C-alpha cells in the first residue's frame, strides 16, 4: 500500500474534464473514472475536499461576452457547478464513499450550506466534501474558490486536474510547439501570464504560500500518484 505524502488535500476539477470526449455535459464514463480515483485516494486515509468547475455546462465569462449581465451569467455558472457536484456526489456514494456537498449559495433541499467548521468535521470523519457554487460571488472563478477553500480548511496542497499534462508556455491545443514547464514560481506565472489559473487565484495562493500541482486527469491513476508524491505535472510554489 503506497503511503500518501499529504494528509489533507483540495482537488480542483475543471468542468471540461468531466466532458470526456463529448462537446458538452457530463460523460458517464469519465465521472465514474474520476469517482474511482477519488475512492482509491480516500481509502489511503487522505482527507479530501473537492471544488468542481461548471464550464462543461455554462461559463459565465463566455456568456457575458455575448451581452449578458456578468453577475447574472456568473450566478448561472455557479448553478452549473452544483449540477456537477451533485453528479460527482452520486457517483462517489455508489462506490461506498461517504460524501457531503456544501454550496456557497443556500439551497437546503439539495445540499448543505457552506459552513467551515462543519466541512472540517466531515473531513476529520473521513468524508469527501464537495464545495459547489464557487465563492457565492460573481466575478470570482472556481479557481479562486478552490484556493480560498484550500486556505480555509488548511489543506496542505491544491491539486488542479485538467485536460493537459501541466503548465505550458502557450496553449498546447493551439500550438503544437508549446513547451512543457515542470516547475514554476507564482511570480513567474503572473509575469508571463501563463494560462493555468486566473491571476486572482495565483495571487491568493502566493500570498498564503499554498503550493499547487497541475496535472492531467485523463491519465488513469494520476490523482493517487500525485497524492503519494510521484512527480508528475507542474508544480507551482515559491
As a CATH number, domain 8-237 is 3.40.1160.10
Decide if pLDDT at 174 tops 90: no
Q: Dump the DSSP string for 55-86.
A: TTT--HHHHHTTT--HHHHHHHHHHHHHHHHH
Decide if pLDDT at 59 tops 90: no
pLDDT per residue as tens digits for the range 124-141: 999 999 999 999 999 999
Band (pLDDT 50/70/90 cuts) for residue 105 is very high
Mean pLDDT on 204-219: 94
Q: pTM of the full predicted structure? A: 0.93
Nearest to 119 by CA among 143, 92, 101, 135: 101
What pLDDT was estimated at residue 139? 93
The residue written with cell numbers 486527469 in the block is 217
Decide if pLDDT at 110 tops 80: yes
Mean pLDDT on 173-196: 90
Decide if pLDDT at 11 tops 80: yes
Mean pLDDT on 85-106: 97
Amino acid at each position: 500500500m503506497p503511503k500518501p505524502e499529504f494528509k489533507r488535500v483540495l482537488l480542483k476539477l475543471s468542468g471540461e474534464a468531466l466532458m470526456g470526449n463529448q462537446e458538452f455535459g457530463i460523460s458517464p464514463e469519465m465521472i465514474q473514472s474520476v469517482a474511482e480515483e477519488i475512492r482509491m485516494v480516500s481509502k489511503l486515509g487522505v482527507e479530501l475536499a473537492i471544488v468542481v468547475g461548471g464550464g462543461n455546462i455554462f461559463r459565465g465569462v463566455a456568456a457575458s461576452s455575448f451581452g449578458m449581465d456578468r453577475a447574472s451569467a456568473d450566478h448561472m455558472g455557479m448553478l452549473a457547478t452544483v449540477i456537477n457536484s451533485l453528479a460527482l456526489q452520486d457517483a462517489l456514494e455508489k462506490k461506498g464513499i461517504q460524501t457531503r456537498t456544501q454550496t456557497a449559495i443556500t439551497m437546503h433541499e439539495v445540499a448543505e450550506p457552506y459552513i467551515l467548521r462543519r466541512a472540517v468535521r466531515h473531513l476529520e470523519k473521513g468524508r469527501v466534501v464537495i464545495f459547489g457554487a464557487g465563492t457565492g460571488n460573481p466575478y470570482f472563478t472556481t479557481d479562486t474558490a478552490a484556493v480560498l477553500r484550500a486556505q480555509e480548511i488548511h489543506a496542505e496542497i491544491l491539486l488542479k486536474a485538467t485536460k493537459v499534462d501541466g503548465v505550458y508556455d502557450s496553449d498546447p491545443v493551439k500550438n503544437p510547439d508549446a513547451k512543457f514547464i515542470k516547475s514554476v514560481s507564482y511570480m513567474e506565472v503572473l509575469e508571463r501570464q501563463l494560462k493555468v489559473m486566473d491571476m486572482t487565484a495565483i495571487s491568493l495562493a502566493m500570498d498564503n504560500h499554498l503550493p499547487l500541482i497541475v496535472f492531467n486527469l485523463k491519465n488513469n491513476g494520476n490523482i493517487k500518484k500525485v497524492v503519494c508524491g510521484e512527480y508528475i505535472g507542474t508544480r507551482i510554489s515559491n
